[in-house]
Structure 1
Amino acid sequence: MNLYGFLQSLGIANPSGTGWLAVIFTFLLAWVVTWLLTPPVRSFALQVGWADQPNERRLNREPLPNAGGLVIYFGVLAALVLATLLRPIVIEGVLAEVLTILLGGSILVLVGFIDDQFGLPPWVRLFTQILTALLLISSGIKIEAPLGTPVDSLLAICLTVLWVVGITNAINLMDGMDGLAGGVSFITAMSLLAVSAQFETRAAATLLLAALGGGALGFLRHNFHPSRIIMGDAGAYFFGYVLAATTILGNLKVTTVFALVPPVLFLLLPVIDTTQVFVLRLMAGKNPLSNPGKDHLHHRLLAWGFSQRHTALTLWTGTIVSNWLAMQLQGMSAIAALVTIASIIALLSFTIWRRMRSL
């Protein structure tokens, strides 16, 4: 089988074009930039005091630099800018959607970084998340609800805001253990990338997910236990927002409740974790967004005797399974889903091997 036939068997929308080369280039560049940039940023963060102190939410016993979100953001941005310069004809048609999501992500990175260093009230963070969700809606990036009722437009706005704010916070709430949020984000980004690559109309999502996946993998090289740096709220907000936005870039239409199943399956672990945390904290009379505690899924596994590494690998495995199911529901061929999962496992294994070797 030649290269064209192989790409066609994977469901690539236009294997005879050059768009898939731009996607691979974007992924590799974001991966390398994030990988190489993290150590100097870590050293600078330690010098200026950008670090998380041990607290109820995190498991670190000493201050950890929390500027990883800036590295991820810069790696993703650098990859997208260079991809635009090198392949302007391929990128031009999706630039508006990419810039809209990057603008919202940039706002959240800034607010998250300020929160990391100085602390912000919960209402400020929530207001910013709603604002960036409305930014997507104003650009036509929203969950459609064509049910034939007078409140369809209002329902679409509410569903989009709920989805974006919910997923953004879900990824952030999972970022309490080395490698967990980064690994889950990488697996989800690569799975969504495999699905969006099947449709030429989802080129913006494909490009963004390639950059996000590369940035997540490069950061994991330094974030897998024992972590040398964490992403902080800046990185977690960025991951959550971009993942939430790209899941609805493919004109997601909700005519029945089952239309929401595939997007939820891609992000099933963060959704389950956040839901149970919110319910338990509300039942205890606590504010779910401002009362950190050890009530997440990874805390339960650690309490059962799992190590941090085994906990991360266990939850990564659960994420891979749920993403495989989501790919099946999206109509991906068996070979395309298998190659995607094998690639995810191979890249994660290589990253872990490099991290262990450095120790």
Structure 2
Amino acid sequence: MESLKALAAQFGIADLFGRGFLSVLLTFLTAWVFTWRFIPRVREFAIKVGWADMPNARRLNKEPLPNAGGLAIFAGFLVSVVVAWALRPIVIEQVNIQVLAILLGASLLVLVGFIDDQFGLSPLFRLLVQMLAAVLLIVNGLKVDFNAIPFMPVLPHAVNGPLSILLTVLWIVGLTNAVNLMDGVDGVVGGVGFVASMVLLVTAAQFADRAAAVVLLAGLAGAALGYLRHNFNPSRIIMGDAGAYLFGYTLAAVSLLGTLKVSAGASLLVPLIVMALPILDTTQVVIGRLARGIRNPLGHPDKTHIHHRVLARTASARRTAVILWLVALACGVIGMLAQGVPLPAILGTVVVVLLCLWFVAYRRVRALDREAAAVTPGQGG
């Protein structure tokens, strides 16, 4: 028993059978099961009312594909957080307000993303709303403190204040759009979102001031896994901008969540490395479009993203998704090593993440095989 407790401590679990760990585990399972079971109902309703992406030159789908998956992901995430809150209320008032600010900002972006999915919104309007969501975090004390970033010079308060606000807006808006731009192949964002959430969860568990972050990340990871069960190629539903905004914004915001101001800048190290894939993808796409003379690089979609390049080489959406999951996991391992996370916790995270991803992919493929077997006899008769 003592060795088991010692192993749990490597993961940041103070009491393996305590209320805190059990509430985090229940949060993850609630989000997973709720999202997994809720998506078929959302899909059925979306088909009836016409919430779907139509086939075009950029999309892989050959028929209308429901794009309301983001609503189901958000519902699973929100339900799980409410359950966690009921089991173990956050007692620190400042953190309580910050969690509410994150949930409010996420709600706003999910709504805007969903409206854009169905009716279309201008890039400028979406950018303004994303900036508003970032400001919502800033006024509630969630921001990047430039003077807390390692290896950077300490600046006077008159310079540090405005610079910290600018960095926070760039961090939130940039990561929100980076994740959204990666959503081009079945399973990629769902899997990368799950990997990033799990890596950041284990990393946050190493700090006593990040209990609220652990809960939010557990809910986000569970919702991602529940969604992925229906999104592994061939997808039955996609998350749309609503879901991509939720992942990007929440991961960016949760990385700033805590009670120790000194850790708010240093804590960006792991998210930067973990989210290196979408960040590098967006960077190379924007630079490439600007080099081609495109004045609005975010408003002119093309097929120069990393997932498009990998897909062109593999000719398989499934292999593309798995490759990018592994790249994201490798980035996560590097980030955890840089943060000083204990090796047993890193190895345990890798094993759990791989098992979960294998399980949902296997279940999806198995369900497709059963569907094909059921259709074949009817065709033969």
Q: TM-score range by the shorter chain?
A: over 0.9
How far the C-alpha of 1:283 sits from its partner, in A, is 1.2
* Structure 1 residue 63: Cα displacement: 1.0
- 1:25 alignment partner in structure 2: 26
Q: CA, structure 1 residues 263+87, in 2 after alignment: closer, same or farther (shift >3 Å)?
A: closer
**Deviation of the 1:145 alpha carbon:** 1.5
Which residue in the other structure is 1:169 paired with? 177
Contact 2:200–2:270 (Cα < 8 Å) also in 1: no
Q: Which has the larger radius of gyration?
A: 2
The 3 A distance-change label for structure 1 pair 261 and 4 is: closer
Instruction: Pick which of 49-58 and 108-117 moved more.
Output: 49-58
Counterpart in the other structure of 2:155: 148
Q: Helix, strand or coil: the match of 1:289? A: helix
Q: Which moved more, 1:95-104 or 1:334-343?
A: 95-104
Contact between 1:56 and 1:294, CA under 8 Å: does it hold in 2? Answer: no
Unaligned runs of 5+ in 2: 148-153, 369-381
2:372 aligned residue: none
* Paired AA for residue 229 in structure 1: I
CA apart distance, 1:88? 3.1
How far residue 90 of structure 1 moved from its aligned partner, in angstroms, is: 6.8
Matched residues in 2 for 1:242 and 1:174: separation?
A: 16
Letter in 2 for 1:84: W
Match runs of 1:101-116 below 5 Å:
101-116=102-117
Partner of 1:226: 234
**Aligned partner (choices 196, 208, 220) of residue 188 of structure 1:** 196
Amino acid at match of 1:24: L
Sequence identity, in percent? 54
Instruction: Give the alignment partner of residue 267 of structure 1, picking from 250, 269, 275.
Output: 275
DSSP 3-state at the match of 2:298: coil
Q: Which residue of 2 aligns with 1:239?
A: 247
Give 1:4 shift: 2.6
The Cα offsets for residues 306-345 of structure 1, whole Å up to 9 and x where unpaired, read as: 3111111111111110100000011101101000111000
The 1-side partners of 2:317 and 2:16 are apart by 41
Shift of 1:93: 7.6
Q: 1:344 aligns with which of 336, 348, 353?
A: 353
Measured against aligned partners, the alpha-carbon deviations of 1:285-315 in whole angstroms (never above 9, x if no partner) come to 2222211111111111122243111111111
SS of equivalent residue, structure 1 residue 142: coil
> Partner of 1:213 in structure 2?
221
User: Counterparts in 2 of 1:1-359, with a 5 A limit?
Assistant: 1-2=1-2, 3-13=4-14, 15=16, 17-88=18-89, 94-146=95-147, 147-149=154-156, 150-250=158-258, 251=261, 252-254=263-265, 260-286=268-294, 287-359=296-368
**Structure 1, unaligned runs of 5 or more:** none
Distance 1:254 1:190 in 2: 20
CA drift at 1:254:
4.4
Moved more, 282-291 or 103-112: 282-291
Give, as a single letter, the amino acid of the residue that structure 2 aligns with 1:139: N
Separation (CA, whole Å) in 1 of partners of 2:314 and 2:211: 44
Q: Which deviates more, 74-83 or 109-118?
A: 74-83
Partner AA of 1:324 in structure 2: V
Structure-2 separation of matches of 1:272 and 1:350: 29
Residues 13 and 241 from structure 1, CA distance in 2 versus in 1: closer, same or farther, beyond 3 angstroms?
A: farther
- State how far apart, in whole Å, the 2-side matches of 1:254 and 1:31 are: 31
Q: Is the Cα contact below 8 Å between 1:177 and 1:308 reproduced in 2?
A: yes
What CA distance in whole angstroms lies between the structure 2 residues aligned with 1:42 and 1:267?
29
Contact persistence 1:19–1:90 (CA under 8 A): no
Kept in 2, the 8 Å contact 1:4–1:16? The answer is no
Distance 1:325 1:139 in 2: 31
Secondary structure of the corresponding residue to residue 271 of structure 2: helix
Q: 1:335 to 1:341 in 2, by over 3 A?
A: same
Q: Supply the distance in 2 between the matched residues of 1:164 and 1:93 (Cα, whole angstroms).
A: 20
Indicate if the aligned counterparts of 2:95 and 2:257 stay in contact, CA closer than 8 A. Answer: no
Q: Give the 3 Å change call, closer, same or farther, for CA 134–14 of structure 1 in structure 2.
A: farther
Query: In the aligned structure 1, how far is the partner of 2:344 from the partner of 2:52?
Result: 44
In structure 2, C-alpha distance between the alignment counterparts of 1:232 and 1:148, rounded to whole Å: 41
For the aligned residue pairs, the C-alpha RMSD in angstroms reads 1.8
Q: Which amino acid aligns with 1:276?
A: Q
**How many residues are treated as equivalent by the alignment?**
356
Cα distance, 1:260 vs. partner?
Answer: 5.0
In 1, the alpha carbon distance for the partners of 2:269 and 2:84 equals 33
Please list the CA deviations of residues 120-166 of structure 1 after superposition, one character each: whole Å capped at 9, or x if unmatched: 00000000000000110001011112223221000100110000000
Are 1:168 and 1:239, in contact at CA under 8 Å, matched by a contact in 2? yes
User: 2 CA distance for matches of 1:93 and 1:357?
Assistant: 47
**8 Å CA contact retained: 2:190, 2:227:** yes
Using the TM superposition, give the Cα deviation of residue 85 of structure 1 relative to its aligned residue in structure 2, in angstroms: 1.9
Going from structure 1 to structure 2, the CA distance change for 1:61 and 1:139 (only over 3 Å counts) comes to same
> 1:15, CA displacement in angstroms?
4.9
